[in-house]
A and B are shown apart, each in its own frame.
Chain A
Amino acid sequence: MEQQPRLDLFPAGKLTLTLQRLCHELAENYGDFQDTVIIGAQPRGVFLARRIGLIIKEIVPTADLPLGELDVTFYRDDLRRHAAPLQPNQTRINFQIEDKRVILVDDVLYTGRSVRSALDAMLAFGRPRSVELLVLVDRRHKRELPIEPGYVGIAVDTIETQRVLVELKESGGNDEVFLIDRT
């Protein structure tokens, strides 16, 4: 197969720098992270949320930030529009989110539909005080719902035929994020 043209969005270790920058932004807004929880959307949002939790621990050693894993499969609105049902992942939220400040983490924001599902899934566990969205990659100009991230690793302008491929170390990748042309 011919190699597709791909653009590395985080070359040469920039991913770590970006995550550190995002964590500093969070620390600015959340102070000592009182009443704050971090929830990663399965699968890659969970990996990112874990890393963010560790970095925040370095910046604010007193921070006690419970980590949740959220699977949105059963909350999607496109079951009957897919060729095959998606394989669900586990949801693990072992704490109350009632009246908590939630930082929701996902890898790529595109149409906003996954985040809509995630909000729905999360509300089944209680009523958070606030929810903010953190994404590694924001693909602008293709939102189908009024959903905007509060914290963005990198914003890219993409066209529909392009795809963002996130390959983190946790899933056997090399901490690379590519923009790929599907032609």
Chain B
Amino acid sequence: MPLSTRHLLGIKHLRPEDLHLIFETADNFKDIINRPIKKVPSLRDVTIANLFFESSTRTRISFELAERRLSADVVNFAASGSSVSKGETLLDTVNNILAMKVDMVVMRHPLPGAPVFLSKHIRANIVNAGDGTHEHPTQALLDCFSLREKFGSLEGVKVAIVGDITHSRVALSNILALNMLGAKVRVCGPPTLIPRHIASLGAEVSFDLRETLEWCDAANMLRIQLERQDIKYFPSLREYTMRYGLDLPLLNSLDKKLVIMHPGPINRGVEITSEVADSEQSIILDQVENGVAVRMAVLYLLAGT
């Protein structure tokens, strides 16, 4: 059974069956990337353009490794130093790249909806690698894949998403994916950083970190996205850390082994301390490893459509 879509624009556009298919395929790829020879020839005749109109380290490297381990040809593009700064439109930039016979586009863009817009105008398969404050579907997929690895199934698992929910595309994609897989979701953060109608997406809201951590099985600690905040949403980072930062004493005071996640990049000492990030309960580096396997699965499945 194939995916129900030709593009990965957002979790919103997927069905639960798609998620399960991606996870099952990623299981196989995880096996492959742990072999001595980590490469398979599946996408030997496919060319993929990575268009990053916004900075990224992890996601770009993860996508590029996934592409190369599938034997695809890869071209990279970063907005700085390109014709974008000369005033070219998105559609023109992409059409010029596609004229050089590119089959798939992986795009990160600061504007929400940019990948949807593109999918209406070009033929190539599009993978959204983050569009502004909207969605980051592969991050949600790898988060859920990592939780599935930890808990077996996400059915009934309680997941808290803590931090800057308003400006987080990771939060939105995660809420949608977790709900689709039967997990229970709660968001937690300062009232100014929680969107007002978030409950309509099926997420509970809490402003109390301790209460939230006592409730959940896993906590996804988000970064404060200062670069997207046009006004001050809280008095100071120090105050944020005191009320919503996770440190070892707080973690140890819980009477359970909470699973700690972080989509990266970490601001050590702000949302979580180093001791927590590097603790045994943290699966942050598993998330990164799984990211490559999940992205291989997505690219493989989309290339076949």
Contacts and interface: CB of A to CB of B under 8 A. Distances in A.
A178 interface: no
Contacts of A87: 1, 24
Contacts of B65: none
Given A84-B304, A85-B2, A71 B40 contact: no
A84 B42 contact: no
Contacts of A79: 42-43, 300, 303-304
Interface of A: 71, 73-77, 79-80, 82-85, 87-88, 90-91, 120-121, 124-125
B300 A85 contact: yes
B304 A74 contact: no
B contact patch SS = loop
B14 to A, nearest CB: 16
B35 A80 contact: no
A74 B31 contact: no
B305 A88 contact: no
B98 interface: no
A90 B31 CA distance: 9
B282 to A, nearest CB: 29
Contacts of A84: 1-2, 304-305
Contacts of B32: 74
A149 to B, nearest CB: 23
B46 A74 contact: no
Interface of B: 1-2, 24-25, 28, 31-32, 35-37, 39-46, 70, 300-301, 303-305
A90 B28 contact: yes
Nearest to B69: A74
A74 B35 contact: no
Contacts of A74: 28, 32, 40-42, 70, 300
B25 A88 contact: yes
A124 B42 contact: no
A125 B41 contact: no
Contacts of A121: 40
A23 to B, nearest CB: 30
A124 B37 contact: yes
Contacts of B2: 83-85
Nearest to B71: A74
Given A77-B41, A80-B304, 11 more contacts: A74-B28, A74-B300, A75-B42, A76-B42, A83-B2, A84-B305, A85-B2, A88-B28, A124-B39, A125-B36, A125-B37
A25 to B, nearest CB: 32
Nearest to A86: B304
A74 B293 CA distance: 13
30 contacts: A71-B28, A74-B28, A74-B32, A74-B40, A74-B300, A75-B40, A75-B41, A76-B42, A79-B42, A79-B43, A79-B300, A79-B304, A80-B46, A80-B304, A83-B2, A84-B1, A84-B2, A85-B301, A85-B303, A85-B304, A85-B305, A87-B1, A88-B28, A90-B28, A91-B31, A120-B41, A121-B40, A124-B37, A124-B39, A125-B35
